[in-house]
Structure 1
Amino acid sequence: MPLLVAYHGAGGNPQEFEENTGFSDASINPDMITVYPAGISKSWQGAAYAAAGVNDEAFTTDLIDRILKEYCIDESRMYAAGFSNGGGFVGTLACSHDHGGRFAAFAAVSGAFYTSEEGLQGMACRPARLPVPILEVHGTDDKTVPYAGGTGRGGRLDPIPTWLSHWAERNKCKTPATNSSRDGIHHFQWPCETSDGLLRHFKIEGHGHSWPKKDKKINISPIIIDFLSAHRYS
């Protein structure tokens, strides 16, 4: 079976995240085993407020090793998804040469992609392999992790278009095609050297810092599952 590791946001918990995402609902996620780890101090590595000295990348590798011993997992179909600080950590995993290479694809919602003052996240990003399938979803009214970037509670934030441009360059993608709806949902899909759709982005006008669900403009969880399921590690 495929595996999805789902990382909650800062201050959140696995139970709340399971309820918000619906990733355990068979009508949304029919065949993946989903694991919801709990961050130390309810946060993940990468933010200034995260627990000092905690290596969540190594924890993720240890977690996967344990799951593989106990469950029959298709190792070519292991995925990571997260929200806010958890989404930022998914970005960290995607950039991790030592701990990100076992995932076939990544998805982040309202990702808090914190950068250091010394340089952009892109300068320190060393993916285990390229290209990297990745989906990012963000609202334009997000005050916690602003779409236009700035300074967040956990550090400096690049504008989301800048973060996406780094991934477009890594994945050797061209100018994205854009589809927009009357509901203010803009879907960007980049044509890349090896395959179209390796890099996708949903920009949601008027949406704040929350998981987009069926009571909002868009239910993002089925879209994430479809995106992840389309990719296998080879």
Structure 2
Amino acid sequence: MRASIFFGLGILVSACGGGDGVSIDGTTGSSSTASTSSSSSGGGGDGGSGGGGTGGGTSSHCMGKSPMAAGNTDVSIMSSGETREFRVHVPPGYDATKPVALVIALHGYTQNIDDFMFITHYAEVVDKRGMIVVFPKGKAPVGVPGWNAGSCCGSAQSQNTPDVQFMRDMVARIEEDYCIDPKRIFASGFSNGGMLSHRLACEFSERIAAIGAVSGTMAIDPCIPKRPVPVLHIHGTSDIVVPYNNSIAAQTVPQTIDGWVARNFCQPEKSVVYSKGSAKCELYAQCNADVELCTIDGGSHEWPAGGSAMGVGDLVASEYILDFFEAHPMP
């Protein structure tokens, strides 16, 4: 892993990517691109929705929704005059009459959907919780895929790819096809995808209930959300791609957190809400919306306890993020 980080650093001086168990260039042992037509594949497992997944009763806005098979469906839509792609994962036991949470999962620079599914294991994690997760595909006008998060990354940024509008159009399409709880739409991302999560909290706050970013800081200024947004940020102190205290492509971690503390009108007091080994999470709770920072002492540019090490570590990022989401629906 350390060798792959150094290999990618030259590429990522002004753009970010990488992850635990996956090299910086976004390759894994098995990788494919989402098809441009909608197709479905069944998912394994049994049982119904997990805790906090469904909204309980039926909802009038879901009347007429068709049942959907569990598993993955690759979808293409038109957004800002271009074809954009994403993969929807539906949990076993999905009921088209009961609203469920939607998690937007944003891969890092140079990565693809398959990479991020492997790193996060989000499909397996949401299956236990009865949530739907969507994996959008970053645009690569030139070179490798990335997101326009503001000051980063790659040709998506330099050519001003309208990724926020893509997110709006994608959510609208998913709401057409699935019974989504409008108060529980969340954004999570790694590296460049984490940066876009922060941007969505700034520019799509009327729909995004909360965000969970890993190793990707704020890359846009100004940030003027329409409402206070709960923010969870996870970052390693030894990250050399998006450095904790000396970032080139975006804000530092302290700058990012200080910005959200100010926007959410937090009191300066914070409390430790999680501590295990190298991981410590501090919460600003006296706010209009919670702000939480999880610091991994000595942690690199990675998704904690992800990839081939899923579930093994001081902080299991995928589970911790979804716990945060379940605790922070839209008011």
* TM-score, with length taken from structure 2: 0.62
Paired letter, 2:223: C
Shift of 1:179: 5.4
Cα distance between partner residues in 2 of 1:28 and 1:204: 27
Give the distance between the partners of 1:182 and 1:2, measured in 2 at CA: 29
- After the TM superposition, which residues 1-234 of structure 1 pair with which residues of structure 2 at under 5 Å, given as runs? 1-26=100-125, 29-41=128-140, 42-45=145-148, 46=150, 47-51=152-156, 52-96=159-203, 99-114=204-219, 121=221, 124-129=222-227, 131-151=228-248, 155=249, 157-174=250-267, 175-178=269-272, 181=275, 183-194=277-288, 198-213=290-305, 214-234=311-331
The alignment's C-alpha RMSD in Å is 1.8
Query: What is the aligned length?
Result: 218
- Structure 1 unaligned regions, length at least 5: 116-120
> 1:215 deviation in Å?
2.8
Provide Cα deviations, 1:165-196, integer angstroms capped at 9, x if missing partner: 1111111112211357461222110122346x
Distance in 2 between the 1:54 and 1:159 partners? Answer: 24
Distance 2:258 2:161 in 1: 29
Shift in CA distance, 23/132, structure 1 to aligned 2, threshold 3 Å = same
- CA 216–60 in structure 1, closer or farther in 2 if over 3 Å, else same: same
TM-score, length-normalised on structure 1? 0.87
**What per-residue deviation string (whole Å, max 9, x for no partner) do you get for residues 40-69 of structure 1?**
021001215132131000000000010000
Look up the SS of the partner of 1:50 in the other structure: helix
State the distance in 2 between where 1:177 and 1:26 align.
Answer: 27
Where 1:87 maps in the other structure, the secondary structure is: helix
- CA distance in structure 2 between the partners assigned to 1:53 and 1:125 by the alignment: 17
Decide whether the 8 Å contact of 2:233 with 2:294 is kept in 1. yes
Indicate the percent of aligned positions where both proteins have the same amino acid: 33
Provide the C-alpha distance between the structure 2 equivalents of 1:9 and 1:94, rounded to a whole number of angstroms: 17
Please say which structure displays the higher CA radius of gyration.
Answer: 2
